[in-house]
């Protein structure tokens, strides 16, 4: 509780100083312009700090409309059906590649903007956009292990994770094809995007061997880990929110063998009615104080190097949220596999139906 | 002996049935007072904060740095839902009532066919209607937004109003209208003074039903919503990745109260109708 209080105090302090800095810079640079300009964002639910939007409107006079979706596929389906009016979408990296092949994305040349020097080039992950000519890296996070410290004092690796059931402690994995097969591939030292039949066969054998030991395949493991029904679970870095709330009991770790990661980028659509406003928003978001404002509230990783130092202590110095370079190198991101996905489907069916 | 055992079992079954039906609803109400800002399902203490926050008051829980404050977006979504439901209800009620009157009072060619057509939107799977409407709007060049949602909702709400009003009209003696005409009233006066008051319980019932269905609709709305027209169900669905927020429980509780009030109003009108 004490930790939590100091954490929240730190955050409020950060917010306050940012507010001040921003108010000053906004007043100095440009008086708010009142035009009937608009910008339409289409984002995941609760995936942006509303304060960022308020600031943007205050600074530019552009009104921001925010609509939300629940998955990449939903968003793509909607756009492919011909829904227009949205300016900026927030696809995951592999979805950006798909959208790029479908020619849905507008070339913003955002990498020519002054603020782009703040962006860590390691986060230009899309194969179709290696230089950042189209989209701006938005936020990212790892998929590691969250565990109950009362049951497992310390956990550092997937091997320790999979050894827990032998000690009578329960584990849970995500009910996610790519994530689970990905872990099996990582443990063999392979790429999580492998379409090699033999590698996938080995991954399948590993998962089938582990299956009797895995108590649940679910996305809802957090309450179970909190209550101690499950000792450790594969989960997103978003678990950090729960960990920070109860650091005595919970911990989140990126296992030493490596892990998967996700990243969403901000992309301007070809059909965007307000392209210049959209670019203005991308540029606004490249400001370190704005990126930090967002990451501090979302408790996830930022691709903005200059923003990291502005983060509150509990996030900045946290190896799970801002891992050092050698850990970063061990994080793998999913790519669109095209037809190779069928191989994964087959493995996953075998694993899920194995008894 | 056997009979009383059967009775006990039946009573027990009845209670279990209602428990099964209402326990989840009761949980939502209870957890809407949970002070935990992050995990909705872990009890941390009693608070009014979620309700206070919804009405714009300052709260203590939301001061927690880990809490993602998006109450404004939530209220925006609720407002969109209310606007859409209100507009769609008014339009669908007028259209559905007119259709019911025409079907009951006039004979014309293909009447049976028209009647069947009016039932189709009710039995059509939501997902089919949703995709069909989306293709229609995009093809017709109507931009997606609140207007397209209202038009889309009207397509099936009209059917609901039609059915409720038709049932009321079927129970009405057509001779009273003839009597009114005999006494020198023109058609408009007859409608206003005789027909409308008699079918009013049906019209209001149909309107209330429409309102609730419109507020509640997710699948069709999801397909035909556009810029700045996220309704409450669509918004709640999109929050799944971050986890459901505690205010949702508070909103759900308020909507529950609202629904109970509307249902009570419906029952009142229905009982007034049978009393007459």
Based on the fold, state whether residues A130 and A229 are members of the same structural domain: no
Domain count, chain B: 2
Based on the fold, state whether residues B59 and B107 are members of the same structural domain: no
Q: Answer yes or no: is B245 within a domain.
A: no
Please list, in sequence order, all residues whose beta carbon lies within 8 angstroms of the beta carbon of residue B76, skipping any fewer than 6 positions away: B230
Q: Answer yes or no: is B143 within a domain.
A: yes
Based on the fold, state whether residues A196 and A212 are members of the same structural domain: yes
Token look-up 């269905």 returns: B213
Q: Check if the beta carbon of residue A332 is closer than 8 Å to that of residue A261.
A: yes
Predicted local distance difference test score (pLDDT) of residue A1: 34
Based on the fold, state whether residues B170 and B234 are members of the same structural domain: yes
The helix or strand, by DSSP H or E, that contains position A216, with its residue range, turns out to be: strand A214-217
Interface of A with B in 75-94 (CB under 8 A): 78, 81-86
CATH number at B168 reads: 1.10.3720.10
Burial of A186 (0-12, 13-18, 19+ CB in 10 A): buried
Q: Closest approach of chain B CAs to the CA of A258, in angstroms?
A: 23
Q: Looking at residues A335-344, what average pLDDT do you find?
A: 89
Query: How many Å apart are CA A122 and CA A264, to the nearest integer?
Result: 14
Query: Residues for chain A: how many in total?
Result: 355
Q: Looking at residues A30-46, what average pLDDT do you find?
A: 72
The confidence band for A10, taking pLDDT boundaries of 50, 70 and 90, is: very low
Domain count, chain A: 2
Predicted local distance difference test score (pLDDT) of residue B1: 55
**One digit per residue, pLDDT tens: chain B, 276 residues?**
577 888 999 999 999 999 999 998 898 888 888 877 666 667 778 888 888 877 776 666 555 545 556 677 888 888 999 999 999 999 999 999 999 999 988 888 888 899 899 988 888 899 899 989 998 998 898 888 899 999 999 999 999 999 999 999 988 888 888 898 899 889 899 999 989 999 998 999 899 999 989 998 999 998 898 888 889 888 888 876 566 677 788 888 888 888 888 878 877 876 766 555
pLDDT in tens, A221-240: 888 898 888 999 999 888 88
Picking from A70, A241, A244, the nearest residue to B237 by CB comes out as: A70
Of A280 and B227, which is predicted with more confidence?
A280
Based on the fold, state whether residues A132 and A162 are members of the same structural domain: no
Picking from B65, B144, B239, the nearest residue to A12 by CB comes out as: B65
Tell me the count of A-B CB pairs closer than 8 A.
105
Based on the fold, state whether residues A9 and A108 are members of the same structural domain: yes
Query: How many Å apart are CA B221 and CA B77, to the nearest integer?
Result: 12
pLDDT in tens, A134-191: 999 999 999 999 999 999 999 999 999 999 999 999 999 998 889 999 999 999 999 9
User: What does the DSSP 8-state code read for residue B194?
Assistant: I
Residues from chain B that touch A11, judged by Cβ atoms under 8 A, are 65
The helix or strand, by DSSP H or E, that contains position A44, with its residue range, turns out to be: strand A38-44
Picking from B42, B227, B238, the nearest residue to A226 by CB comes out as: B42
User: B249 is written with which tokens?
Assistant: 């429980």
| Any B CB within 8 A of A228 CB | no
Q: Closest approach of chain B CAs to the CA of A80, in angstroms?
A: 11
Based on the fold, state whether residues A133 and A78 are members of the same structural domain: yes
pLDDT of residue A6 exceeding 50, the answer is no
Based on the fold, state whether residues A334 and A185 are members of the same structural domain: yes
Show the domain range for A279.
2-138+264-318
Q: What is the 3-state secondary structure (H, E, C) of B44-73?
A: CCECCHHHHHHCCCCCCHHHCCCCCCCHHH
Based on the fold, state whether residues A147 and A219 are members of the same structural domain: yes
Please count the other Cβ atoms lying within 10 Å of the Cβ belonging to residue A264. Answer: 23
Q: Determine whether the interchain pair A83/B228 forms a contact, defined as Cβ–Cβ distance below 8 Å.
A: no
Picking from B38, B134, B240, the nearest residue to A242 by CB comes out as: B38
| Any B CB within 8 A of A8 CB | yes
Domain boundary, last residue among B19, B34, B63: B63
Q: Answer yes or no: is A324 within a domain.
A: no
Based on the fold, state whether residues A13 and A156 are members of the same structural domain: no
Show the domain range for B11.
2-63
Radius of gyration of chain B from its Cα atoms, rounded to whole angstroms: 23
């Amino acid at each position: 509780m004490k930790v939590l209080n100091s954490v929240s105090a730190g955050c409020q302090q950060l917010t306050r100083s940012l507010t001040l800095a921003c108010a000053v810079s906004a007043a100095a640079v440009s008086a708010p312009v009142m035009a009937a300009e608009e910008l339409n964002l289409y984002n995941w639910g609760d995936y942006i700090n509303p304060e960022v939007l308020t600031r943007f409107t205050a600074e530019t006079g552009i009104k921001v409309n925010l609509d939300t979706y629940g998955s990449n596929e939903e968003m793509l389906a909607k756009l492919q059906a011909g829904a227009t009016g949205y300016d900026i979408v927030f696809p995951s990296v592999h979805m950006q590649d798909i959208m790029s092949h479908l020619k849905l994305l507008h070339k913003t040349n955002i990498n020519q903007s002054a603020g782009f020097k703040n962006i860590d080039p390691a986060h230009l992950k899309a194969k179709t956009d290696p230089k950042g000519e189209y989209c701006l890296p938005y936020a990212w996070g790892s998929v590691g292990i969250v565990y109950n410290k009362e049951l497992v004092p310390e956990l550092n690796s997937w091997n320790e994770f999979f050894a827990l059931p032998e000690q009578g402690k329960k584990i849970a994995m995500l009910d996610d094809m790519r994530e689970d097969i990905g872990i099996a591939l990582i443990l063999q030292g392979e790429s999580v995007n492998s379409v090699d039949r033999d590698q996938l066969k080995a991954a399948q054998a590993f998962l089938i061997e582990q299956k009797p030991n895995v108590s649940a395949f679910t996305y809802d493991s957090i309450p179970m880990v909190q209550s101690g029904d499950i000792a450790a679970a594969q989960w997103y870095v978003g678990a950090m929110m729960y960990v920070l709330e109860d650091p005595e009991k919970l911990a989140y770790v990126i296992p030493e063998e490596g892990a998967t990661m996700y990243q969403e980028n901000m992309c301007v659509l070809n059909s965007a009615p307000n392209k210049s406003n959209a670019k203005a928003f991308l540029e606004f978001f490249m400001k370190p104080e704005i990126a930090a404002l967002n990451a501090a509230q979302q408790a996830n990783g930022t691709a903005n190097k200059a923003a990291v130092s502005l983060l509150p202590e509990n996030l900045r110095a946290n190896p799970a949220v801002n891992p050092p370079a050698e850990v970063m190198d061990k994080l793998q991101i999913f790519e669109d596999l095209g037809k190779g996905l069928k191989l994964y489907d087959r493995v996953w069916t075998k694993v899920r139906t194995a008894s | 002996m056997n009979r009383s055992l059967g009775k006990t079992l039946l009573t027990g079954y009845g209670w279990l049935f209602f428990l099964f039906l209402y326990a989840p609803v009761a949980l939502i109400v209870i957890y809407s007072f949970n002070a935990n800002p992050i995990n909705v399902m872990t009890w941390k203490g009693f608070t009014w904060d979620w309700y206070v926050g919804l009405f714009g008051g300052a709260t203590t829980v939301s001061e927690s740095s880990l809490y993602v404050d998006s109450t404004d977006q939530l209220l925006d979504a609720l407002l969109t839902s209310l606007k859409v439901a209100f507009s769609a209800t008014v339009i669908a009620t007028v259209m559905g009532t007119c259709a019911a009157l025409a079907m009951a009072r006039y004979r014309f060619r293909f009447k049976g066919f028209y009647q069947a057509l009016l039932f189709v939107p009710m039995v059509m799977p939501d997902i089919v209607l949703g995709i069909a409407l989306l293709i229609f709007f995009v093809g017709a060049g109507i931009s997606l937004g609140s207007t397209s949602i209202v038009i889309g909702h009207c397509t099936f709400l009209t059917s609901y109003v039609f059915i409720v009003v038709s049932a009321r009209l079927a129970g009405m003696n057509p001779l009273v209208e003839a009597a009114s005409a005999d006494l020198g009233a023109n058609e408009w006066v007859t409608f206003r003074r005789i027909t409308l008051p008699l079918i009013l319980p049906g019209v209001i019932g149909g309107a209330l039903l429409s309102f609730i269905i419109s507020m509640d609709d997710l699948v069709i709305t999801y397909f035909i919503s556009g810029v700045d027209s996220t309704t409450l169900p669509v918004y709640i669905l999109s929050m799944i990745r971050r986890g459901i927020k505690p205010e949702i429980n508070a909103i759900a509780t308020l909507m529950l109260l609202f629904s109970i009030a509307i249902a009570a109003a419906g029952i009142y009108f229905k009982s007034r109708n049978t009393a007459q």
